[in-house]
Amino acid sequence: MGRWIAIAAIAAVALIALAGAALLSFRAGDERTDIAFEDVVQAAADDRLQRVEVDGETLRVTLRDDERTYETRVPEGADIAAALQAEGVTFGDGSPGTVELTYAGGGRDWNRVLLVIGALLGLAVLALGAYLRFAGRGGDPR
């Protein structure tokens, strides 16, 4: 019986690793490109900024002349609204002369959270399997 527990534990860890890889590959397939925060501010000054979505520490930016969505990190302690207003940005619906500013609800990268939870569950299954195998032998480590 101890052998089946070990096999089940290894299979569970492999399944969790596959699920984590699948989650990360879905995220990698997004049409997002990295952009420097300074370039976002410059695009705002040049009236090329159409939409900014704030999601925790991440900004998703859409430019007027580009179909792609760009991502950047908000620098520590930065106020995105104040930084853009300092460049003369007026917030509105994203029409010429205005920038649409929205806030996403989450603020967490749930793919990473789920991956960490999955890894911890896998370790717990391995520890339980090792404990049951050890306890099944009456505490004899042989």
In a domain, 67, yes or no: yes
The residue among 27 and 65 whose pLDDT is bigger is 65
Q: Residue 29's pLDDT band (boundaries 50, 70, 90)?
A: very low
Model pLDDT for residues 52-93, shown as the tens digit of each residue = 988 878 889 999 888 888 998 888 887 888 888 888 888 888
Mean pLDDT (the chain) is 78
pLDDT for position 68: 86
Residues forming beta bridges with residue 102, ordered by sequence position: 53
- Residues of the domain holding 135: 1-30+121-142
Which DSSP helix (H) or strand (E) runs through 15? helix 2-28
Model pLDDT for residues 114-129, shown as the tens digit of each residue = 777 888 887 888 778 7
Indicate the number of domains in the chain. Answer: 2
Residues 40 and 87 in one domain: yes
- Continuous H helices in 36-140: 37-45, 80-86, 110-136
The residue among 21 and 57 whose pLDDT is bigger is 57
The residue among 133 and 106 whose pLDDT is bigger is 133
What is the Cβ-side half-sphere exposure of residue 89, based on CA atoms within 13 angstroms? 29
Residues 101 and 129 in one domain: no
Nearest by Cα to 64 from 96, 42, 33:
96
Residues 87 and 103 in one domain: yes
pLDDT for position 34: 87
Q: Going by DSSP bridges, is the β-strand pair 98-103/69-73 parallel, antiparallel, or unpaired?
A: unpaired
Indicate which CATH number applies to the domain containing 46.
Answer: 3.30.720.210
Q: Provide the edge-to-edge strand list for the sheet that holds 49-55.
A: 32-34, 69-73, 58-63, 49-55, 98-103, 90-91
